[in-house]
Amino acid sequence: MTRVTKEPAQRRQEILDTAMKLFYEKGYEKTSITDIAKAMGVAQGLCYRYFSSKEEIFDTAIDQYAEVLTNKMKSSVNFDMPLKEMIFNMSTFKDVETDDNFYYKVCHGTEKKKIHYQLSMKICEKMMPYATAIAEKAVETKVIKPINTKSLASYVIYGQLGILLDDTLTADEKLENIKEMLNRLLNI
| Model confidence pLDDT, tens digit, residues 1-51 | 566 778 999 999 999 999 999 999 999 999 999 999 999 999 999 999 999
Say if residue 177's pLDDT is above 90: yes
Residue span of the structural domain in which 82 resides: 56-186
CATH assignment at residue 83: 1.10.357
The per-residue pLDDT for 72 is: 92
Whether residues 89 and 141 fall in one domain: yes
Say if residue 110's pLDDT is above 70: no
Say if residue 144's pLDDT is above 60: yes
Whether residues 70 and 91 fall in one domain: yes
If you average pLDDT over residues 81-110, what whole number do you get? 85
Alpha-carbon gap, residue 1 to 42, rounded angstroms: 10
Establish if 2 belongs to a structural domain.
Answer: no
Whether residues 39 and 91 fall in one domain: no
Whether residues 157 and 109 fall in one domain: yes
Regarding predicted confidence, which is higher, 113 or 51?
Answer: 51
Alpha-carbon gap, residue 62 to 112, rounded angstroms: 13
The tally of domains found in the chain comes to 2
Q: With contact defined as beta carbons under 8 Å apart, do 11 and 46 qualify? A: yes
